[in-house]
Protein backbone atom coordinates (compact mmCIF):
# COMPACT_ATOMS: atom_id res chain seq x y z
CA UNK A 1 0.00 0.00 0.00
CA UNK A 2 1.49 3.34 -0.96
CA UNK A 3 1.78 6.33 1.35
CA UNK A 4 -0.97 8.36 -0.32
CA UNK A 5 -3.49 5.63 0.46
CA UNK A 6 -2.28 5.24 4.06
CA UNK A 7 -1.99 8.96 4.80
CA UNK A 8 -4.96 10.39 2.90
CA UNK A 9 -7.44 8.04 1.31
CA UNK A 10 -8.08 5.51 4.08
CA UNK A 11 -8.44 8.09 6.88
CA UNK A 12 -10.36 10.46 4.62
CA UNK A 13 -12.83 7.88 3.35
CA UNK A 14 -13.32 6.51 6.87
CA UNK A 15 -14.01 10.06 8.08
CA UNK A 16 -16.49 10.58 5.23
CA UNK A 17 -18.23 7.26 5.87
CA UNK A 18 -18.47 7.87 9.61
CA UNK A 19 -19.88 11.37 9.19
CA UNK A 20 -22.43 10.33 6.58
CA UNK A 21 -23.56 7.26 8.54
CA UNK A 22 -24.00 9.43 11.62
CA UNK A 23 -26.02 11.95 9.63
CA UNK A 24 -28.17 9.16 8.20
CA UNK A 25 -28.79 7.69 11.66
CA UNK A 26 -29.77 11.11 13.01
CA UNK A 27 -32.16 11.71 10.10
CA UNK A 28 -33.70 8.24 10.42
CA UNK A 29 -34.15 8.62 14.17
CA UNK A 30 -36.39 11.62 13.57
CA UNK A 31 -34.14 14.38 14.85
CA UNK A 32 -35.32 17.57 13.22
CA UNK A 33 -32.81 20.11 11.93
CA UNK A 34 -32.61 23.65 13.17
CA UNK A 35 -34.11 25.63 10.30
CA UNK A 36 -32.90 29.14 9.50
CA UNK A 37 -35.03 30.93 6.94
CA UNK A 38 -33.61 33.67 4.80
CA UNK A 39 -35.23 36.11 2.42
CA UNK A 40 -34.43 33.74 -0.41
CA UNK A 41 -36.63 30.73 -1.18
CA UNK A 42 -33.98 28.49 0.39
CA UNK A 43 -33.33 27.38 3.93
CA UNK A 44 -30.29 26.60 5.99
CA UNK A 45 -30.69 23.30 7.84
CA UNK A 46 -28.42 22.61 10.79
CA UNK A 47 -28.35 19.13 12.28
CA UNK A 48 -26.96 20.30 15.59
CA UNK A 49 -26.05 16.85 17.01
CA UNK A 50 -24.19 16.09 13.78
CA UNK A 51 -22.32 19.40 13.90
CA UNK A 52 -21.40 18.74 17.54
CA UNK A 53 -20.01 15.30 16.59
CA UNK A 54 -18.01 16.56 13.60
CA UNK A 55 -15.02 17.80 15.63
CA UNK A 56 -14.58 14.30 17.03
CA UNK A 57 -14.82 12.81 13.54
CA UNK A 58 -12.33 15.33 12.15
CA UNK A 59 -9.99 14.55 15.03
CA UNK A 60 -10.21 10.83 14.26
CA UNK A 61 -9.33 11.41 10.61
CA UNK A 62 -6.41 13.69 11.42
CA UNK A 63 -5.16 11.37 14.15
CA UNK A 64 -5.30 8.33 11.85
CA UNK A 65 -3.45 10.18 9.11
CA UNK A 66 -0.75 11.46 11.45
CA UNK A 67 -0.44 8.06 13.13
CA UNK A 68 0.12 6.49 9.70
CA UNK A 69 3.01 8.90 9.15
CA UNK A 70 1.26 11.59 7.14
CA UNK A 71 2.27 15.22 7.29
CA UNK A 72 0.26 18.26 8.28
CA UNK A 73 -1.33 18.59 4.84
CA UNK A 74 -2.45 14.96 4.79
CA UNK A 75 -3.86 15.32 8.31
CA UNK A 76 -5.85 18.41 7.38
CA UNK A 77 -7.09 16.78 4.17
CA UNK A 78 -8.14 13.61 5.99
CA UNK A 79 -9.89 15.58 8.73
CA UNK A 80 -11.71 17.84 6.27
CA UNK A 81 -12.52 15.09 3.77
CA UNK A 82 -16.32 15.06 4.38
CA UNK A 83 -16.62 18.81 3.83
CA UNK A 84 -14.50 18.65 0.69
CA UNK A 85 -16.54 15.75 -0.64
CA UNK A 86 -19.82 17.61 -0.13
CA UNK A 87 -18.45 20.81 -1.68
CA UNK A 88 -17.16 18.92 -4.72
CA UNK A 89 -20.48 17.11 -5.01
CA UNK A 90 -22.41 20.37 -5.10
CA UNK A 91 -19.96 22.02 -7.48
CA UNK A 92 -20.17 19.14 -9.95
CA UNK A 93 -23.95 18.72 -9.76
CA UNK A 94 -24.79 22.43 -9.83
CA UNK A 95 -24.21 23.01 -13.58
CA UNK A 96 -26.70 20.28 -14.48
CA UNK A 97 -29.22 21.61 -11.97
CA UNK A 98 -28.67 25.13 -13.27
CA UNK A 99 -29.41 24.00 -16.83
CA UNK A 100 -32.58 22.25 -15.77
CA UNK A 101 -33.79 25.14 -13.62
CA UNK A 102 -32.91 27.81 -16.18
CA UNK A 103 -34.37 26.26 -19.28
CA UNK A 104 -37.21 24.12 -17.98
CA UNK A 105 -38.52 26.15 -15.05
CA UNK A 106 -37.22 29.58 -16.10
CA UNK A 107 -35.56 30.28 -12.73
CA UNK A 108 -33.25 33.32 -12.82
CA UNK A 109 -29.51 32.63 -12.64
CA UNK A 110 -29.07 34.79 -9.52
CA UNK A 111 -31.42 32.50 -7.58
CA UNK A 112 -29.38 29.47 -8.68
CA UNK A 113 -26.14 31.17 -7.63
CA UNK A 114 -27.70 32.03 -4.28
CA UNK A 115 -28.73 28.42 -3.82
CA UNK A 116 -25.22 27.20 -4.63
CA UNK A 117 -23.69 29.63 -2.15
CA UNK A 118 -26.11 28.53 0.59
CA UNK A 119 -25.51 24.84 -0.13
CA UNK A 120 -21.75 25.34 0.04
CA UNK A 121 -22.14 27.28 3.28
CA UNK A 122 -24.51 24.75 4.83
CA UNK A 123 -22.82 21.53 3.74
CA UNK A 124 -19.23 22.62 3.09
CA UNK A 125 -18.02 25.60 5.11
CA UNK A 126 -19.85 25.14 8.40
CA UNK A 127 -19.16 21.38 8.67
CA UNK A 128 -15.62 22.07 7.46
CA UNK A 129 -15.09 24.51 10.30
CA UNK A 130 -16.38 21.95 12.80
CA UNK A 131 -14.12 19.25 11.34
CA UNK A 132 -11.13 21.61 11.44
CA UNK A 133 -11.73 22.40 15.11
CA UNK A 134 -11.34 18.71 15.86
CA UNK A 135 -8.40 18.13 13.53
CA UNK A 136 -6.18 21.02 14.63
CA UNK A 137 -5.03 19.60 17.99
CA UNK A 138 -3.84 16.39 16.34
CA UNK A 139 -1.84 18.25 13.73
CA UNK A 140 0.54 19.54 16.40
CA UNK A 141 1.79 16.03 17.08
CA UNK A 142 5.37 15.84 15.93
CA UNK A 143 6.87 12.89 14.15
CA UNK A 144 9.82 11.40 15.98
CA UNK A 145 12.88 12.35 14.01
CA UNK A 146 16.17 10.50 14.04
CA UNK A 147 18.02 13.84 14.17
CA UNK A 148 16.45 14.72 17.50
CA UNK A 149 17.79 11.64 19.26
CA UNK A 150 20.95 11.86 21.27
CA UNK A 151 23.31 8.97 21.34
Domains in the chain: boundaries: 3-141
Buried b (16+ CB within 10 A) or exposed e, 83-106: bebbbeebeeebeeebeebeeeee
pTM of the predicted protein model = 0.82
More confident call, 142 vs 11:
11
Contacts of 118 (CB under 8 A, 6+ apart): 38, 40, 42, 44
Residues 4, 70 contacting (CB under 8 angstroms): no
Summarised one tens digit per residue, pLDDT across range 45-57 is 889 999 999 999 9
User: What pLDDT, on a 0 to 100 scale, did the predictor assign at position 23?
Assistant: 94
Amino acid sequence: MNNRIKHLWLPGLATLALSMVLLMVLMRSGIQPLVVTLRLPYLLLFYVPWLVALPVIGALGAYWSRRAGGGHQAGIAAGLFPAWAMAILFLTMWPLGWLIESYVRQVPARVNLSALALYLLNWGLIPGAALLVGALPFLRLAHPSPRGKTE
